[in-house]
Amino acid sequence: MASSPTFITYQNKIKHNKLQDMDSHKIIKAFNNEVDLLEHRLYEQIQFFKELDEQLRTMDRELCKIPSVLPLERRYAELVGTFGLNLTHRGSKFHEGVDFIAPTGVPVYATAHGRVVNIDNNSSGFNVTLQHEGAYTSVYSHLGKIIVKQGQEVVKGEVIGFVGETEKNTSSSYLHYEVRYNNQPENPLDYFYLDFTPEEYERYLNRAEDAVKVID
């Protein structure tokens, strides 16, 4: 419960009267004790914020090793194929990643710090695989152009290539994207949380449930 202004004024009068009863030596000593106490509290606060800052930096470094963002700008991240058992024109198929319809030439970004461990090119365009720390890999397929080389180190958010057209019978260019842990496919939707607020992420997952067409 907050003290009333009258009570605070009364407290201040008591302190003032006590100071009047003290000689100058005691006043200086009391003042120095208060300064020492404030300095100690300030030191503790500084140490607390230093430790907090280091913890946040450590968390940021660890998150940079995990594919935890979208490989495209959000405005282009329209899902048309989701992870798991999906429907195709040939029947059902287990889809090991997700597909995003996007205009040709849209930049594709590394979703975590890593190294380029594989590049290949076929009728569907370039495919790039990045190796990340902690047994994670990410795969980017159907790129029309790439600007990375085998063995190159990349950082999270760095452009590695651009969405390209595919020779497959599709109505638009698109990106196929995979996340793997110990070479086992993981649902990439589980790793996009840093690009959304909790509410936006929930809405995005709900929309993903309707994206049952697989074009990869």
Separation in Å, CA 134 to CA 53, 67, 113, 114? 24, 11, 11, 11
Domain ranges of the chain: 5-63, 74-208
Residues 188, 179: Cα–Cα separation, whole Å: 6
CA-to-CA separations, 13 to 8, 17, 31, 32, 33, in angstroms, rounded: 9, 6, 17, 21, 21
Task: Say whether 187 sits in a helix, a strand or coil.
Answer: coil
205 by Cβ neighbours in 10 Å (0-12 / 13-18 / 19+) ranks as: middle
Opening angle at CA 18, ends 17 and 24, nearest 5: 110
Q: pLDDT tens track of the chain, all 216 residues?
A: 555 555 556 555 555 566 555 567 776 777 777 777 777 777 777 777 777 667 666 666 666 678 988 999 988 877 777 776 666 666 667 778 888 888 899 999 999 999 999 999 887 789 999 999 888 999 999 999 999 999 999 999 999 999 987 555 455 788 999 999 999 999 898 888 777 777 877 777 776 666 555 454
- Class level of CATH domain 74-208: mainly beta
Question: For the chain, how are helix, strand and coil distributed in percent, rounded to 5?
Answer: 40, 30, 30
Note the pTM of the prediction, 2 decimals.
Answer: 0.67
